[in-house]
Amino acid sequence: MPRSTLLQPWVGFINVFGGWYVQGVSAIIVPTDRRDTTLLTNSLAAGWWLYRAPADRLIRGVVPVVEVHLRTPLNNRNRDGVVFVPDMLNITSGVHIRFPFATLGGAISVPTIAPRPWNVEALANLTIWY
């Protein structure tokens, strides 16, 4: 059975404007097996510090965020092929809540172009700093 390794060089940025921030990342995902799909990915996010508290508070911040994620396959684009990977453009909206040693986040993501692999996606994450 053939196995493929995925190589993913990327470049990103972040800019902060007062209570606002914008960040983005672009990457290419290149498999070592040419039968796999090569992808371009681009993501752009913007957030705003709705609430920011001193360090002695339990909730230190609330940050609403909106994101756009674009996936563009460079091969395997034929719907009748053995492997078919469609273009995807997802819009995600959510919120991050900052605690002294963690961030809790939740979001909803919606694909915007057909074929849509799902109608809506719910996301949750917990980041613990140590």
User: 106: which 2 tokens?
Assistant: 């939740």
Q: What is the pLDDT of residues 25-56, one digit of tens each?
A: 999 999 999 888 999 999 999 999 999 998 88
| Residue 110 is assigned to a structural domain of this protein | yes
| Residue 57 is assigned to a structural domain of this protein | yes
Measured distance CA(128)–CA(57) in Å, rounded? 17
Measured distance CA(32)–CA(37) in Å, rounded? 10
The domain total for the chain is 1
- β-strand partners of 49: none
Q: What is the pLDDT of residue 82?
A: 76
Q: What is the pLDDT of residues 82-124, one digit of tens each?
A: 788 889 999 999 999 999 999 999 999 999 998 888 999 999 9
**Band (2; pLDDT cuts 50, 70, 90):** low
Q: Domain holding 109: CATH number?
A: 2.40.160
Asked if residue 74 has pLDDT above 90, the reply is: yes
Averaged pLDDT for residues 53-78:
93
Query: In this structure, are residues 29 and 39 in contact, taking their beta carbons and an 8 Å threshold?
Result: yes
| Residue 1 is assigned to a structural domain of this protein | no
| Residue 77 is assigned to a structural domain of this protein | yes
| Residue 91 is assigned to a structural domain of this protein | yes
Residue 79: domain span: 6-128
Q: What is the pLDDT of residue 1?
A: 56
| Residue 12 is assigned to a structural domain of this protein | yes
Residue indicated by tokens 């991050």: 96
